Every structure is written in structure tokens, then in C-alpha cells.
Chain A
């Protein structure tokens, strides 16, 4: 077996473009998914069961169906319905962030519920409102506990962004497939693709560990 680095070098500009788009998809979906996930998590924890129900349904739907199917439904169904045409960027970011939000919501809920009830009681006994207590006492602590699980979720999201190649969003996996189609060789395109995903997830992991250390109080 000869491994042809020269083919990879030829394709490098495409891999670069693809990588940048993968980073774009990932960063946008991590940000949107986290914000949305926090809101859904808060919604799930509302004391009024009726108000909380839609949020639980959301989590059930998005966790219970395959991301690939969600991408198809959003791309061919919802996006044309709302904007009148298909758009791989909108579809990709929407599908990835909506899906991720369901998992972030559960991570967030677990983070908050793992805190001792006394924290909320102490804050409320000092005259803080529920919102103030959440903002200054509960969420900062829950966030710290969430980081490892959140890191996991971000890494999964980076890897799962490869699924949007099926709707022809020209990200990393798309160019890997394209190169394979052009040269009919398995190793160079897919190992290169895998290697770049590995670098991206390792960078993500590194950044989160740094954040975790910075938030440590001891």
C-alpha cells in the first residue's frame, strides 16, 4: 500500500475550507445550543408541571430521534417552510444546535439538582429573590460542575457536525467524501478527515480543561 501525501497536498485547500466551515458549524451550534439548552433546562425545572411539560417534550423528541433524521426534516421540511428555499448553513446550524440543546438542558438540570438545597435556602434567607439566587449562587456553582459533561457534549457536537455532509454542506466530511470520489482511494481522504477532527476535539478538550482549572477555588 502506498500512501500518497501528494494527493492530500493537492486537496489541502479544500480540507482547509471544509475545516473552517466545520469550526463555524461547531462554534455557532455550541453557543446557540448552550444558550437554548440553559433556557430549556430552566423550563424543565419550573415548579408548575403544566408549564414545564413542553420543555420535557422537547428534550424527549430531540434525544429520542436520530440527529440524521432531524437534519433531513429540518433541511427539507422546516427551513423551506420558513424561508421558502433550502439553505445548508441554516439547516446545519439549526439541526445541530436544537439537538445539542436537549442534551445541554439535561446536563444543566443535573448540575443544578446536584447542588445542596441549603445553597438556595441560604441565598433566599438573605432576602435574595429566586432569580438573584439562581444568578449569583446556583448557576455559577452548577456551571462549574457542568464543565466536564459539557465538554463531552461539545466534542460529540464537533464530531456529529460531520452528519451535515449528507445535505451537501461543504464542511470537512463533505470534502473527505469528495476526495474519495475523485481518486477512489480510501485511506488518504478519510484518515486525513479523521486526523483533522481529532485535532479539533483535542483543542476543545484543552480549552475546557483550562477553564476548569481557572474556576477551581482551591
Chain B
């Protein structure tokens, strides 16, 4: 589904990703953890080329998105993304937020888009908020709308960039619940998070990143229970 080979990313002289190679299978839930500045968000943002790729290859369904000739918009239709700060469109209602991309990109009819949007809102438990504007929602509700918005494009992979980091603690649960449901339905997911409980419970595999490398990867029970590297141990001792 996703294959990353020798991925490198620099911002000017600052090399954030040094050499990343990893594969992610269909229906797999991969959780990326690591200290801040380790490059985990940059790694995620390279998977749909929100960051231009400095070196190496990122194959999504066999298409190398590092190739400038590839139609990135077409690939992004299959790769949904959820952001730390939600990034809902404040000038559009909740329903319009979800309907916009299917109508403009996939050219589905208004009726079809609306029906789908309402179904997705129901799924994330916010059907009654369809007509309000994002400003009047709580953080947790905003993030659930953002997930529905990404799902409206029927992506094959969902990328989550610290989806609960900007939320009040009591709202983290409702967002994780939606993500967990999504994982159980078989969605391929790459999740950058500090929620170790989620990583342990929902993740099929955990990547520990530090200093622009994947230092260690393993099944969650093994990575958390029996970390092999010093840096993994040091990090886990601080966050667990």
C-alpha cells in the first residue's frame, strides 16, 4: 500500500529526515511515536507530499509521489489527512466542509454529496451539527468533523498528524473512539500521536522515530514491553 525507500527531507541546511525506509500494508494501523523534533510529522507529511521530498521514493499504490510528473492530486484523493489543528474551513458550514471536495474533485452531485456527508456525520456522532459553522464546535467535535471530511473522499489510507494534541483532555477520548472504530473497519492508518494507550490498543505496529531515523519498530506489546534500543528505553521511561 505504502512503500517508503530511503526518504530524505531537508529544510535548507537542516536535515529532518535522514534515511527512512518502511512499508505499510493494507489495513495495517501504524503508530508513529517519538520525541518532538524527531521528524515524525514531517515523515507523515511526505506521504501525501505536503512536504516536497528531498530524496528517496514514496510509493503509494505503486505510484512514486517523489516523481514530479506524477499527478499528486489524483493520489491525494486516496490519502486522507487529519491535522492537529483541524483546519476546517471556517466560512463553510459543517455539512459544506464535508461536501466540498467530493463535489469539486470527484464531481459527485450535490444530493449524493449531501447524503454521504450526513451519513458520515452520523457515523462520527454529529448529525445534529450539520448546519452550524465550525466556530461553534468544541475541539473534539471539530476533529470528528475533520475526520468525516477526509472520509468523504473515500480514501484508501488515512494519515493522522497528532489528531488529539490540541484537544482538552476530556475530548481526547471521543476522537480516539472514532479512530478506533475506523481501524476496526479495516482502514489503513498511519497515526502520529503521543497517546501511548491508543498505540498499544489499536496499533498493529509502532515506529519509534528519533533524529530523523526510525530507531525501532515492532508490535506494540513488544516495543513497549521490551524495547531494544537505549533511545527507545529513554523515551518510553519518560512518557509511560
Q: CB within 8 Å of B: which residues of A?
A: 116, 118-119, 121-129, 132, 136-137, 140-141, 144, 215, 217-218
Contacts and interface: CB of A to CB of B under 8 A. Distances in A.
Nearest to B149: A126
Given A116-B87, A122-B88, A128-B104, 15 more contacts: A121-B87, A122-B146, A123-B101, A124-B76, A125-B48, A125-B150, A126-B101, A126-B150, A132-B104, A137-B100, A141-B90, A215-B91, A217-B133, A218-B135, A218-B136
Contacts of A215: 91
B191 to A, nearest CB: 15
Interface of B: 48, 50, 73-74, 76-77, 79-81, 83, 85, 87-91, 100-101, 104-106, 133, 135-136, 146, 149-150, 153
Given A122-B87, A122-B89, A132 B105 contact: yes
Contacts of A127: 73-74, 76-77, 101, 105-106, 153
Contacts of A129: 73
Contacts of A126: 76-77, 80, 100-101, 105, 149-150, 153
A123 B150 CA distance: 10
A136 B92 CA distance: 10
Contact of B104 (A119, A136, A217): A136
Contacts of A124: 50, 73, 76
A140 B91 contact: yes
A121 B105 CA distance: 15
A121 B50 contact: yes
Contacts of A118: 83, 85, 87
Contacts of B153: 126-127
B105 A122 contact: no
Nearest to A119: B87
Given A122-B83, A217-B133, A218-B136, A137 B76 contact: no
23 contacts: A118-B83, A118-B87, A121-B50, A122-B89, A124-B73, A125-B48, A125-B79, A125-B150, A126-B76, A126-B80, A126-B100, A127-B74, A127-B76, A127-B101, A127-B105, A127-B106, A127-B153, A128-B104, A132-B104, A136-B104, A137-B89, A141-B89, A141-B90
